[in-house]
DNA sequence: ATTATTTTTTAGGCTAATCTAAACTTTTAT
DNA sequence: ATAAAAGTTTAGATTAGCCTAAAAAATAAT
């Protein structure tokens, strides 16, 4: 059984490692957790002792398969709760993250299965991120950010990065929700800003914004 | 802001003091919290310093009005979550306590108001206990336990004490739910066991059980 | 290839919540 | 009214998670 803090560290490691595909450095982790490197080292040792990660001094950490499934369960809970907050309680998608950060640590297998059922077994959360199933299986979507594409591209918004509430508010304002069709009308070479078509509206977006929009097709 | 542990101690003090109407002794509190008296003393000092309780050495603690409203908010959350678990997720009433103990510590004013709305502003939880409103107002029902009454009494089950899951399972089995009519057919002087009529069924119950059934009228 | 810089780890301390054992108060019993 | 018992508090340790400062290792720069 992991403590709340251990769970948060493990989740951060999982995300920073892109789902376990690369190793994570102590400083990266410390920054993500808003702590100091010394604290991260302490926690790394603890998680390594419990075999959720593997760790070679000075060379960073890797998530074990045990760690992966544990992290995926936390992510499952987080995303199911986010879905609940938006679908059932009428939260806007920029409000949910903080609360879901708390709810994801509630420990009850039965609760999460019942919640999943209540929500109708959703496949993605309100930001378009896939929800791992009860076995921890997750559908990794091809993650291309909009900024990597050229004028003329058209496709669908698959997801948006859910880090910052202000960004989410802005994306909501311009109609950039998962599922919406999007087309790049033009791209400025100088700063990589672009004009896009969303819901028949022409919008100018900066590179900073286009980096946070994930598209498919 | 209270820590999770402080919140739990305060809630226990509130309950042990019958909503603030009597003082609570250190040992009582320690037992309720499954800790030792020394730990209870430490926490009592902390809560007293923060003015949630008043405390005179060796003579027990009393909840302040600040403490009362804080405790009532925790109880509000607990009972709303219990209602959610039963009404929306299909939990049985004997399963909810443990999970609600965790959920009651989620910190989000908005969440609890939205949840209340989603549930249709319920007045009582699945055990029949009143739910404090958003201002902390609670409707104290006349709390008479069945064991204090005599043969011939008839009335309605107002609530059941929700301490023990096994007791709740048993009460469910004999049909003793809040709202159900109940009549005392006979009472045995020797051990105060009684025969009662619930839903047209005659049931023998021990004093231990009748002490956990609260009736009204 | 040595030195300088950056990164990481270790050492030692702090706070919250717990414990045991000892000291102190209050209550009960003779 | 004093001694015994019960209850409470204090003193001193422990663990988890965090910190700063110093030491050690890896990387970069001359």
| Measured distance CA(A206)–CA(B97) in Å, rounded | 50
B89, B106, B114 member nearest A90 (Cβ): B114
| Measured distance CA(B172)–CA(B174) in Å, rounded | 6
- Specify the pTM: 0.92
Helix (H) or strand (E) holding A144: strand A144-145
Is A157:A177 a contact under the CB 8 Å cutoff?
A: yes
Mean pLDDT across A48-71: 97
Q: What is the pLDDT of residue A206?
A: 95
Q: CB within 8 A of A180, min separation 6: which ones?
A: A156, A157, A198, A199
Scan residues 7-46 of chain A and list those with Cβ within 7 Å of strand C. 25-28, 37-38, 40-42, 44-45
Average per-residue pLDDT for chain A: 95
Tens digit of each residue's pLDDT, chain B (217 residues): 899 999 999 999 999 999 999 999 999 999 999 999 999 999 999 999 999 999 999 999 999 999 999 999 999 999 999 999 999 999 998 899 999 999 999 999 999 999 999 999 999 999 999 999 999 999 887 779 999 999 999 999 999 987 788 998 999 999 998 989 999 999 999 999 999 999 889 999 999 999 999 998 7
The residue of chain A with its CA nearest to that of B96 is: A111
Query: A4 or A216: which carries more pLDDT confidence?
Result: A4
Would you state the structure tokens that stand for residue A58, as one six-digit string?
Answer: 């000075």
Q: What is the pLDDT of residue A152?
A: 93
Is B6:B46 a contact under the CB 8 Å cutoff?
A: yes
Instruction: Compute the nearest-CA separation of B28 from chain A (Å).
Output: 28
pLDDT per position as a tens digit, A6-52: 999 999 999 999 999 999 999 999 999 999 999 999 999 999 999 99
Burial class of residue B75 (count of CB atoms within 10 Å of its CB; 0-12, 13-18, 19+): buried
| Measured distance CA(B206)–CA(A189) in Å, rounded | 83
Q: What is the pLDDT of residue A110?
A: 98
Chain A hits for B103, Cβ within 8 Å? 106
Q: What is the pLDDT of residue B66?
A: 98
Is A157:A180 a contact under the CB 8 Å cutoff?
A: yes
Chain A hits for B117, Cβ within 8 Å? 89
- Residue (of B104, B202, B194) closest to B149 by Cα position: B194
Cα dist. B180→B97, B183, B201, B213 in Å?
Answer: 22, 10, 12, 11
């Amino acid at each position: 059984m992991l403590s709340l803090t251990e769970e948060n560290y493990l989740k951060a490691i999982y995300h920073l490692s892109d789902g376990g595909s690369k190793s994570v450095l102590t400083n990266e982790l410390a920054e993500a957790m808003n702590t100091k490197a010394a604290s991260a080292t302490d926690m790394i040792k603890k998680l390594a002792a419990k075999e959720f990660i593997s760790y070679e001094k000075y060379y960073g950490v890797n998530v074990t398969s045990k760690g992966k499934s544990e992290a995926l369960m936390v992510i499952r809970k987080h995303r199911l709760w986010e879905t609940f907050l938006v679908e059932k309680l009428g939260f806007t998608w920029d409000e949910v993250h903080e609360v879901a950060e708390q709810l994801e640590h509630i420990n009850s297998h039965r609760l999460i299965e019942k919640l999943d059922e209540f929500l109708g077994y959703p496949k993605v959360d309100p930001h378009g991120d896939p929800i791992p199933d009860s076995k921890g299986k997750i559908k990794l979507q091809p993650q291309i950010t909009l900024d990597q594409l050229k004028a003329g591209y058209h496709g669908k918004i698959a997801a948006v990065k859910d880090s910052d509430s202000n960004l989410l508010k802005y994306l909501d304002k311009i109609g950039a929700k998962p599922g919406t069709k999007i087309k790049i009308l033009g791209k400025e070479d100088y700063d990589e800003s672009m004009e896009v078509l969303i819901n028949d509206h022409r919008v100018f977006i900066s590179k900073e914004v286009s980096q946070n929009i994930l598209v498919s097709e």
